[in-house]
Amino acid sequence: MKQLILLRHAKSSWADPNQADFDRPLNARGERDAPRMGAFLRDALLKPDYIVTSPARRALQTAELLRSAWGKDSPKLLEEPRIYEASTANLQGVLESHLADCDRLMLVGHNPGISSLLSLLTGVQADMPTCSAAVVALRRVDEGMLCGLFRPKRLWPEAD
């Protein structure tokens, strides 16, 4: 059975009100949480074959920090423009495009799309705060079962 890891990008900065949404970087909390989530997934033996990410700066930074947890054995990183501001249907298209090539795929994206895809695939309405990861066992490309939902504040209570 194939697995999908849905990950919402880590916390981003709103320091510059004139900065375009696409160009917003991670803030200090995001820079702290993303490598921690990567290490958690590594230690849980949840290494994806590919990390497919939105090209938005905050998502790409998140994906790169996640990858760093695996060091020289890090998963391949692919930028996918369809993930930024994606509808659920677009995210399903991304999933269909990349899932055939691997057993475990990670999508790094944005809300509400990531939460909506989780709901569509599993029937579970779950809050996906920044840098949260949902692991889904896929029966088919449009149906799965939620196996785990990992949120930074639950994994590391001092995360604020």
For 20-48, write each residue's pLDDT tens digit.
999 999 999 999 999 999 999 999 999 99
Domains for the chain: give ranges and CATH numbers.
2-155 (3.40.50.1240)
Structure-token pair, residue 93: 């298209």
Q: What is the pLDDT of residues 100-153, one digit of tens each?
A: 989 999 999 999 999 999 999 999 999 899 999 999 999 988 899 999 999 998
- Entry field: residues in the chain: 160
Q: Where does the pLDDT of residue 159 fall: very low under 50, low under 70, confident under 90, or very high at 90 and above?
A: low
Sheet strand arrangement including 143-150: 76-79, 50-53, 104-109, 2-8, 133-140, 143-150
| Strand boundaries in the chain, DSSP class E | 2-8, 50-53, 76-79, 104-109, 133-140, 143-150
